[in-house]
Amino acid sequence: MARPFLYATLSTILLYGTTAFAQSTFMTKEYVDVNNVKSAILVHGDLNWNPVSLGSDCEFPTGSGVSVSSATTLWMAGFDQQAQLHVSAQTFRQTGNDFWPGPLENGSLNMATSTKWAKIWKVNFFDINTYLAQSIHTINNTPDAILEWPAKGNPYAKGVYDSSLTITTDMAPFVDADSDGVYDPLKGDYPEIK
């Protein structure tokens, strides 16, 4: 009798462990701080909340400690050529994640790629204007947000934990100062904010 119980227990642990790994998420978070509102954005499409504490992470006015939103998420939907509705929705990880960081390769995404891309590149006009005011661009005087921007051909592109990214296709938009089709911040290219 002890053997079936042991097998059932081990099977449950292995199944739980596999499910937990399959649903592993990244907690990469950045803040949008605009118009006196400070709002959290996470790489899985979570907005305005902290998935660890399950509390609000949206403050107005900024610095007041007053929460104005419990949580919101990204939802996208569209119809295919056969009029079939397809929906991707972040449901606070109740049934997995529809959004994962990283570029799709042949319609799929592996965990190694997603891990490297679990970063939010935040750039602002101040950084860009400071960069544009410089006559010579070096690795040392270029803001990291501009230097590491995930654009096509950027030799300095970095993901999470400074992992190098090789980007051979169009990704993040950029102003191509030298019109060569690839991003190189040391040649005057910078992120395009639309």
Residues 109-152 pLDDT 10s: 888 888 999 999 999 999 999 999 999 999 999 999 999 999 99
* Whether residue 89 is found in the same domain as residue 109: no
* Whether residue 115 is found in the same domain as residue 183: yes
Beta-carbon neighbour count of residue 78 at 10 Å?
9
* Whether residue 48 is found in the same domain as residue 65: yes
Q: Is residue 6 part of a domain?
A: no
Q: Is residue 60 part of a domain?
A: yes
* Whether residue 95 is found in the same domain as residue 107: no
**Residues paired with 81 in a beta bridge:** none
| The two structure tokens encoding residue 16 | 């739980």
Domain end point (choices 44, 73, 99): 99
**Per-residue confidence (pLDDT) for residue 137, from 0 to 100:** 97
Q: Is residue 54 part of a domain?
A: yes
* Whether residue 140 is found in the same domain as residue 189: yes
Are the C-beta atoms of 67 and 54 separated by less than 8 Å? no
* Whether residue 143 is found in the same domain as residue 166: yes
Whole-number Å distance between alpha carbons of 110 and 133: 40
* Whether residue 133 is found in the same domain as residue 172: yes
Q: Tell me, yes or no, if the pTM score tops 0.85.
A: no
Q: Which domain holds residue 151?
A: 101-194
Number of domains the chain is built from = 2
**Per-residue confidence (pLDDT) for residue 24, from 0 to 100:** 58
Q: Is residue 114 part of a domain?
A: yes
Q: Is residue 20 part of a domain?
A: no
Domain end point (choices 64, 81, 99): 99
Q: Is residue 158 part of a domain?
A: yes
Under-70 pLDDT residues of the chain: 1-24
* Whether residue 40 is found in the same domain as residue 84: yes
